[in-house]
Structure 1
Amino acid sequence: MVLPPPAPATRPTPPLLAPDGSVREGSAPHGPVSPTFAPLTARPAHAVPGFVASLRSRGQAPAVHTATRSLTYAALADLVDEAAVTLGAGRRLVLLACDNTLDTLVTYLGALAGGHVPLLAPGDRLHHLDALVAAYDPDVVAGRGDEGWRVVTRHEDRTRGEGPHDLHPDLALLLPTSGSTGSPKLVRLSHTNLDSNATAIAEALGIRPDDRAVTSLPLHYCYGLSVLHSHLAAGASVVLTDLSVVDPCFWELADRAGVTTLAGVPHTFELLDRSGFADRHHPTLRAVTAAGGRLDPGTASRYAELGARRGFDLHVMYGQTEATARMAVLPPELAATRPGTVGRAVPGGTFRVDPLGELDCGLGELVYSGPNVMLGYATTPADLARGRDVHELRTGDLGRITADGLVEVVGRRSRFAKVVGLRIDLDHVERDLADEGHDAHCVDLGDAIGVVLPEPGTGPAATEVLRRRHGIPVGAVVALDGQSAPRLSTGKPDYPGMAELLGAHREEQDHATEPPSGDRLEAVVALYRELLDTPRAGAGTSFVDLGGDSLSYVEVSLRLERVLGTLPAGWHLLAPAELVAAADRAPTRSGSRLHRVETSVVVRAVAVLLILANHTHLSFVPGGAHTLLALAGYNLARFQLTDRPRAARARGIARSALRIWAPSAAWIGVVALVAGTYDWRNVLLLNQVLGDWARWSPHWHYWFIEALAALLLGTALLVAVPAVDRFERRHRLALPLALVAVGLLTRYDVVVPDAGPYRGANAYVLIWLFATGWAAARANTWPQRLLVSAIPVLTVPGFWPTMPTRAATVCLGLLVLIWVPTVALPAWLGRAASLVAGASLFVYLTHFVVYPHLMAYSSVLAMAASVAVGVAYWQLWLRVEAAAGRAAHRAARVARLLRRAT
């Protein structure tokens, strides 16, 4: 079949080759561009990996899918044969600047089919490509130029016969060591390595001919390449894409192509969490694999349980480039119960543990043996002529083998770190920094690389070197400059001492505020630190990661729009770096006077205006407060019930309740002192518990705020229960539906039948309405939306027998939330709605004092004044919160300094 194209959303790849076919300026001399593909006439005798040699024999079975086309194995074999001819005669060293496209795939397989030795590197890391060209002087360079895919022969006088390199007959592939891409150190892999690992992985994962793997990882990365090899070895197919798993177009393509296999590193699972993967169903997905670093056991258990519900298996794996990618697989049936292990060796491989020193406690360095162990390393072109000089792989990882034969990795023995899926050689990083003029020492901080530099002010430059030369994100580097590295008595660097020093520096950074710069990423981070009162905000922490809630959502979104111009859907789930990138990709609205506003914002603004209109007698359309209560449940699910740990969830919800109580208590307390309208029960939001239910009085003005705070606190206590928390994570829609069912018992007076004459203001009677809003946020499919839509339609009418208009307002508000994600409004009206929505709590608080004094003159004036006073109180409170936050951080910092001094 031919797949229809998805919406245009691709990542541009920087050109490697100039329009004339030359390697970029500064590279070694080059020859003319290779000729157009020609039919294969003869193939020299040489070893070819089995998964390449068998392409044509698989005939019309599907092999490759892209967004616009599909290829059978026979068609792919034709292209591979043509690519082999284009790369030239003899055995050549082919530097391949990779992207996840058909051009890369065909050229790579063509190099293997033609007996050449491909050297893979990322096509968007030009500095690395320069280093590899300079170090190994490849015969051919292939990559994406300004005019498309280019294959360049660099040695005109060697286009016949053998190339300039002496390539060992067993040598099949060269891969940079993971995390050291662009350095001269390469892993030498043989044809046997490639074949044995491809078949072992296919067997371990049970890959079938009808499987389809999507390129969620780069093809130049050993893990991503292993996915390709194992699927071709099994006669399965691959879906090529450069899109990220957070991009909706990625999932549109995956579902359209029937993807069955998804591979990821730990960072991929963080992105999946942010993208709402757990709330979607991808019917063809049957296997999710995890490698490239230690997957958090909690995440592994969660995804194993999610897979059990959704029909896919989680395969936790362990590997290194030196073993042709993957060495161990954890059986999926153990992923939920043994998530701290990485399983057993792949077929043909074995592990042993070499004890550390004389003490044998079962813990030691993991040593792996098998046919997938590399030939050895290469650091110069002369090493390419060497045969095998490595027979087993000393992984450098500390681990043990359990009684039931499972491998458990507990740490690193050598100077390597794993950050965002990259295996980083810290010694190599230090050498690169020295090349750039930085006398630096590096340590592993677990989730980041720590750098100590003696020269003041060099931290940002060193961080940029790590980003540019090693692909380490800025947020994964902790740099301390102006500090000499501590040393042992022997004069050697004291790396444990450095780790302690950097840890203290990192803690101080977490509590330090930095002024925003002109850079948009830094401006977003600074904005989060200011508005969310979270100095720990960084390039990798999203709005929900930082505890953002519905109270801060509107203010943050308004300020972000000023910085970014537009906000993508689901922006609150994206880290600042991803948010800026998504805003850059978003289409501009030049010439358009309409502005897309989230429906929840519009509903909040309209609801509070309806309350004002009713109270000022401008109109009579009741139901605004109850709509806001349902909206509170909706926002609870969006902002608080994320994939944070259970304790963080409970604290976040309780904090939201506190952020409602604090400005309410302050305002009500002042009014109580000045006017005597309220008392201490109102200040504590306890009038529903301790007040007079027999008659309506001003003490009941704030029933909505009391009910909201009580429902939030109740939810915080509920999700603090481990069993409930686990149930909610597994059954995102089931829990709110269960609460709706429980709430209907009080709504229909089945339990606590006498709720008083003002039952519509009682928190425990309104549980069902709050939970319906929660369910509305969890309904992601048409059947789910229809199910949740039925709840207000069937249960809201009749709750207020004498006020059918109130029921209609609440039903309409909920249905709009369920079915209409955004609303197009004139830009000025969108900004006004956002302003009123952001101040809605404060407008509700203050309007009881404002409107009675103005109604005699004009209902419109009374309503406008109520909005103005509420907005003013909102802005004042934001400044009070910011000042209190700064004072708290200063006090905490002083306390830490005093503790250190003592």
Structure 2
Amino acid sequence: MTLSPLRPETGVPLARALHGFGDRVALRTSEGVVSYDELARLVDRAGERLGPERRLVLLAVGNDLGSVVQYLACLAGGHPVLLTDPAGDDRELVATYDPDVVVRDGEARQRRPGTAHRLHPDLALLLSTSGSTGSPRLVRLSAENVQANAESIATYLDLQPRDVAVTSLPLHYCYGLSVLHSHLLRGASVVLTSLSVVDRCFWDLCRMHRVTSLAGVPHTFELLDRLGFGRGGEGAVTALPSLRLLTQAGGKLAAEKVRALAELGQRRGFDLVVMYGQTEATARMAYLPSELAATAPHAVGRAVPGGTLRIEPAGAEVGELVYAGPNVMLGYADSPADLARGRVVTELRTGDLARFTDDGLVEVVGRASRSVKVLGLRVDLDRLEHLCADAGLEAWCAAEGDRVVVAVTGGPGAAERVRALLARRTEVPAGALDVHAVDALPRLPSGKPDHRAVAALAAATAAQEPAPEGAGTATADLVALYAELLDRDDVTADDSFVSLGGDSLSYVEVSLRLEERLGHLPADWHTTPLRRLSPAVRRRRGASVETGLVLRAVAIVAVVGTHGNLFVLTGGAHLLLGLAGFNLARFQLAGSSRRERVRRVLASLSRVVVPTVLWVGGFALLASAYPWQTALLLNGLLGPEEWAEPAWHLWFLEALVVLVAGVAALVTLPAVHRLERRWPFWLPFALAVVALLTRYDVVSLRGGDEIHRAHVVAWLFLAGWAASRARTTGHRAVLTALVCAATPGFLDDPAREAVVGVGMLLLVWVPRVRIPRAASRVVGLLAAASLHVYLVHWQVYPHFEDDRPLLGVVLSLAAGVAVWAAVQRVVPLARRGADAVASRRRAAQAPGAGVLVVATTSSPRTSTGTDPGRTVTVTGVPSA
């Protein structure tokens, strides 16, 4: 590494070329104007005072002439300059980096005659990474970084010497600094002021100097909204007829706001340019051309001139955004020793999750570090903030432990709105939302959100809330209950039914046993962590059971009783399809990530396909009871067109498998996944409406026995999906209209249609019913075993349907329950056996296998090796 003192070519060219613009106005202040020639002379004199040897300068830079002169003198002379906020506390920075010169309030204090540092020849500028002056970590920027980024910005903004900018942002902030750089590069002028945009004098100053360019962060535009920016006539406070360029960066602005500003600009004659960047890229990495702001407001645009953007991993639709270009920093500095280092970074991993649109634009969809796991669910905190903003709520979100902490302005009413909105529009349980009404949202000195302060609200609340008496014991009991019913040995108080992989087959017993323990069952119990489930103060008589569970039990009894000639109550199987769609959306589609949802849907599918194929295939092989098409669930595709027994016996299960597989295929599509996340009710509702094309034979795929074919009954399954997402009266009303319109005439049997229609409407409007506690156990047993009852009853009731139908129905139900109970015992044993085999195989293949075991202890809640439930202490002695 070559380190050298000041050389003629050292420094940033834009600061050394000020003389070239002669008597053009460079800086404008409330006291007057300064030409480029005058500015160059002031810079030269300040440079002489710094001396010929390169020195480390700490500059508390304000939006004033003295600060700008000192700053430009450092850039021109090649003196690395560390910028701080003049209103901040920079004592830690001084103690950490020991600058040679400290400049505050326009006065330079020489701390030593020369320098105490080894300064790399390329080093020009040091900026804080956090937007505050307290962070000792700094971004190291070179002279090339500063010059290249200024040229890039001036190019895509098409800055001209006639342009006039205003310091609407602080100069210690990289965005505000880039405004100064790019305008001085083009011989334009800058109005220096520390006034806020909410100050009437700020706008008087802008009008007096005919400002053409105004820069702002999202907070700036919140303030402008309060002033009525863009409303009223030219006499309004913010009226600025000379404005031709409005730029925005420093955080994501809501798409609706971008579009509104772009349309305002079209009416008022200014261009809106949305920009994206980080301090590590000397300010800018991407920009959205003004002509695209109204049509692509979600995007951050394309790479700045000289730069490139890519998604990592390559080929992924959504991944980390990576930037490369001449403005990428040299690296970070954590101590004075780092100031001697050269380039250690060639490209910038932004930490932002992004995708390329069909138009080749970049759209940032979230922050990797802002994507957190809450109760086993992946949560994008940025998306939560955008949902709040779309609803007109000022709110910021952070994560603290197992909770999402939300700060919102607007009082307790706004807090309740946020809680209801996020619980309705996302998979975050209401119990995991810690919402706080605040007078003002906490901000960093740069104006950006202070998410650490938001997270700290949770700790303050927790300190004030005493734990309920007996809460620890009650939670431990629930942990043990879940571990028993779900056959899991890793259950914790932070887990929920959904996060543990619970599904529509296991929820029956869990919900009933949980209701017995608690005395009540919250609507969102399946997504609520165990620690937040508490027993009712007063236990009510009877059991409050979910309506879907009761309908499931009634439907399977109706199917078996009708087939066994005990009574006639048709429509049960079609109702079960609606219930299947309801439960699939509730449990398998509860995950927030696309991969997790697909995994859950496929797992659910296997729990239907495997027992069906084994049972039916066994009878097909041993007793020739079924054709092979039925055994492989392909009768609807390859079997007879009209109803024929026994080929069509399993039409319900075949339709269920096809529909669940179709949902799995749908949610693998990123576009569908995003639509469902954004419109959780309206997407399945729209799909149900589209599916009516086959119900009304507008689209005919195959004739024959149509009411038992998957594509014809799909609308019922999709309506069940929509019912699980219906959160408002409006949702329920339009879904009711669909069911009432589509059910009559569907099955050519008014009684059968009434069973389906009434059952679906109960599912939509009546979430729970209260029944005797003894009856709830029977209902739960039949509902849990409904799949196996449906499979088994075909082999039982035919022997009794003519002479003893009641006995045939009872035996069919009992046989199905018995098979279900056997499976419940066999599957966990098989799983544990497979886990043990896999564990032994991994242990045998692991490096150093065959260590000497010197102590073992049993613990149902501890695992430090591959064998769950055992803590093993070993020595490092290899076996012979």
TM-score, normalised by the number of residues in structure 1: 0.45
**Which structure has the bigger radius of gyration?**
2
TM-score, normalised by the number of residues in structure 2: 0.46
